[in-house]
Amino acid sequence: MTDARGAGQASGQGDGPQGAPAAPPRDSGLATGSLVFGILSLTCLPLIGVIPAVVLGVLGLRDIDRSRGALGGRGKALAGIILGGLSAIMVVPMMAGFLIPTLMRARSTAEVVLCQSNVRELTKLAILYADDHGGNLPKTLGDLEEAAGRASRG
């Protein structure tokens, strides 16, 4: 009997010698590497493992498709790509969690610096006013504005 592929082999017999089952194709090293990096990207290397997991997975799939059955590991390559993608999706909120507090601190620091600058300017204007008015400090903000006008003119 011949099998469905028409290869002329007896039914029930494998492709190996004396009817033994054929050895499965060896796995692509790139596919295995993709899976390893995918697992690492989820566990201990979330920032470093994402890119190698996806790149090795895509390259592994390409090699597996080009090998015409000589290489296996398609599932490993796909799993590595998926795990790398999931890790990339999880990294974005994690990075936001680190960046938002830092940005808030920077904003708060900028506000403090702005307030200090404003107090410094008001102090200079008060001194200018006092020099012009016999040592008396301004009583209203309008008095400071008057001193500011004189300071900007000359």
pLDDT of residue 11: 47
pTM: predicted TM-score of the whole model, two decimal places? 0.54
Cα dihedral 142/145/146/150 (nearest 10):
180
Q: What is the pLDDT of residues 53-77, one digit of tens each?
A: 999 999 999 999 998 888 988 999 9
Task: For the chain, state the CA radius of gyration.
Answer: 37
